[in-house]
Structure 1
């Protein structure tokens, strides 16, 4: 059976969701589940949870736990990456220092100063992982969940000999479900084509039996003033296609919202909401640990995670369409070939096969390029040890450049580098 490796398994809530899916697929119930984390306490919690779930379901799955990453990935068939380098402490830095300069963020993990520095912390670890996989599991499929998604897979395929990496994100799936609900058409009857950069993809085709559903959506929006007070609906009105990212997250990739008090208020943008979520995750971990120690176990409920769907399709031949983040190479013809783009992928026993979308509407491609420019400079900064490219990336970031002067950006970057220290690539430090 498949050897499925979890990198960053100490993220126990996410690990629980994927394990629930895998272990409730009858065809995957005998898999070898390999857990890796650099935090021994969290790894022990994840191991206890996995063993409890296997025993509770009466399955023959084997559980391994390794502090050593190479031992974990040796011979892997699938590697699910869910690391958060620096954890909650680093996340606080990503918010607190920019805040001191008057720069607002909401999630700070995809673009902006927070996204740039999350990437700079994460890329060295991912390059090391990709190098290990090229040697120890060259045929494995690396399924990445860690943000920033447009940067992490790119760093792996540009910085290592390992190429079989795909980024997975819920945003397309959740947006398509949301749109179908708004127009009151069963999702399985709606034809979608959705593509672009991760967290800035757009629904290009939205049809029911050949009928364009966008006019129906327009009628729904016209009747609902609350919908109109969301960033994603505002972006749809201005650009002509519905974006895949939530309003709070999407606002920080753009120059028009967080800089202005009235826009933050009107569109109800929850500044720094991720700090609250991150703190809540710490509480979830402690509660999980307590329940396991008390013999209470955890809930086992299929969560429909994309990684488990991909693994099931490849192992069983069950066909699915999953949106994956992969090297462009002409899949979207008016975005750079080396960029990491999000497109529909066909998944079955043959693996994941990205589909060619063609050209995006020019206004969408132009917007995506401003997004991807920051990612390219950040990846180059990490792989080439170029501190100057960190300045360049933040200078070109839409939210930072709308809020700060060039000197403020330079000083902010210096403060961030000093604060994150050894977590960053040596050349950047």
Structure 2
């Protein structure tokens, strides 16, 4: 007889894990955990042990009766799990650095979830997540899989399109960061701000903003244009105020790669000329964090973690798990099947949208059509996601080439082919489906 919930985190050696543990500790009264299993691979063993021991110290400090297990055996961990979270990086940070550096060496934006970098992260990651899904269906078929591995949109598309697993939700911290940023501009607690979100992962827009239930959308757009709302990993280059006002919705930080392509590329090339891709900066931050985590007197999440660029991710996951377990019916922004929520997309396509969270999963809110001004770009990225998911599952070269060629960050089909060939070679160790 189980005494409480069993939660498994795949990629447990991640630097984000302390935030996840903190989130579970904070919610101990509404989320009765008895077991947390942190799973990683052989290459991540050292980090798993460091962060796992910190997790044990945090749980002990909180005085909670939760067993924290560390393992390299995923199947052992998954047996009878209630919730599974995934926060993995296939190829580790070295692969990310290639995703960013190779496009930049050709004068193209190098970003880990957009353009060529995003495609290759998906090609490496989708098969691994589908393997995890297969294990879940066998070992804990009623468990919910909460994925915050990027690129979440493409992974969500692949899971729903190429498996029959329904207990899946994709999660991103961008909408939380946007809402909190707007709350800060209004100088109010973030709980008082409500925003409707609709679009795709890293291509999502804030549509309607209310403060204490009163519509303040126009004022919010104005405050947004005068702010520096962004993320740690994205340069806060200003959007043109007249443009955002005309757009009538609030873009997300990643939209800078599409609406400010020239400026973002110049910024990236400037850093690249000094020998720095973002992945290298992250690697240095990670090294510093793990040095902190080694300290046997540390038994809380260190504030330095927020510099890492993924703040709120783990907290969002804990929130989502609690809402499913407690059937809260609150509204959260998730990646799920459209089912009529955004009329620009088919029902069986995945979207990122405000949804009511129940014990049976998310129920997307009906948004209607996206504004005409954003419909074209979002539809273009959806086509890219569909092709990327298909290429990742089948290891199909032509589909991968087509995906890259139609991506708005790639200037020509010839450039797409050069990038595809070079990156397939650079990542071949992690792309067995292309090497059959």
Same fold (TM over 0.5): yes
Residue of structure 2 equivalent to 1:239: 247
Higher mean C-alpha displacement, 298-307 vs 349-358:
298-307
1:73 to 73, 78, 81: 78
Matched, 1:196 2:196: no
- 1:21-420 to structure 2, matched below 5 A, reads 21-27=23-29, 28=31, 30-38=33-41, 39-105=44-110, 108-184=111-187, 187-208=190-211, 212-217=215-220, 219-220=222-223, 224=226, 230-231=238-239, 236-243=244-251, 245-246=252-253, 249-252=254-257, 254=258, 257-259=260-262, 264=266, 274-291=278-295, 295-300=296-301, 305-401=315-411, 405-420=412-427
Task: Give the CA deviation at 1:68.
Answer: 1.6
CA distance in 1, matches of 2:424, 2:237: 37
CA distance in 1, matches of 2:130, 2:415: 31
TM-score, normalised by the number of residues in structure 1 = 0.87
Q: Check 1:78–1:301 CA distance in 2 against 1; reply closer, same or farther (3 A cut).
A: farther
Asked if 1 retains the 8 angstrom alpha-carbon contact of 2:384 and 2:406, the reply is yes
Task: Give the CA deviation at 1:185.
Answer: 5.4
How many residue pairs get matched? Answer: 412
Q: Check 1:306–1:165 CA distance in 2 against 1; reply closer, same or farther (3 A cut).
A: same
* Partner SS state of residue 420, structure 2: helix
Per-residue displacement from partner, 1:87-126 (whole Å, max 9, x unpaired)?
A: 1110111122112211133xx2222000000000101101
Higher mean C-alpha displacement, 172-181 vs 206-215:
206-215
Q: Check 1:381–1:317 CA distance in 2 against 1; reply closer, same or farther (3 A cut).
A: closer
Asked if 1 retains the 8 angstrom alpha-carbon contact of 2:357 and 2:363, the reply is yes
Task: Give the CA deviation at 1:331.
Answer: 1.9
CA distance in 1, matches of 2:19, 2:65: 19
Q: Check 1:184–1:382 CA distance in 2 against 1; reply closer, same or farther (3 A cut).
A: same
CA distance in 1, matches of 2:170, 2:242: 27
CA distance in 2, matches of 1:67, 1:328: 35
Task: Give the CA deviation at 1:276.
Answer: 4.4
Asked if 2 retains the 8 angstrom alpha-carbon contact of 1:23 and 1:29, the reply is no
* Partner SS state of residue 142, structure 2: coil
Q: CA RMSD in A?
A: 2.9
Q: Check 1:210–1:89 CA distance in 2 against 1; reply closer, same or farther (3 A cut).
A: closer
Asked if 2 retains the 8 angstrom alpha-carbon contact of 1:120 and 1:425, the reply is no
Per-residue displacement from partner, 1:159-183 (whole Å, max 9, x unpaired)?
A: 2232211111111122122223324
Q: Check 1:189–1:221 CA distance in 2 against 1; reply closer, same or farther (3 A cut).
A: closer
CA distance in 2, matches of 1:428, 1:376: 22
CA distance in 2, matches of 1:366, 1:94: 26
* Partner SS state of residue 374, structure 1: helix
Asked if 2 retains the 8 angstrom alpha-carbon contact of 1:149 and 1:325, the reply is yes
Asked if 2 retains the 8 angstrom alpha-carbon contact of 1:331 and 1:358, the reply is yes
| Long gaps (5+) in structure 2 | 230-235, 304-311
Matched, 1:422 2:425: no
Asked if 2 retains the 8 angstrom alpha-carbon contact of 1:183 and 1:213, the reply is no
2:17 to 12, 15, 18: 15
Q: Check 1:368–1:299 CA distance in 2 against 1; reply closer, same or farther (3 A cut).
A: same
Task: Give the CA deviation at 1:334.
Answer: 1.2
Task: Give the CA deviation at 1:197.
Answer: 0.8
Q: Check 1:288–1:156 CA distance in 2 against 1; reply closer, same or farther (3 A cut).
A: farther
Asked if 2 retains the 8 angstrom alpha-carbon contact of 1:232 and 1:250, the reply is no
| Long gaps (5+) in structure 1 | none
* Partner SS state of residue 337, structure 1: coil
* Partner SS state of residue 153, structure 2: coil
Asked if 2 retains the 8 angstrom alpha-carbon contact of 1:335 and 1:365, the reply is no
Task: Give the CA deviation at 1:191.
Answer: 4.0
CA distance in 2, matches of 1:188, 1:199: 23
TM-score, normalised by the number of residues in structure 2 = 0.85
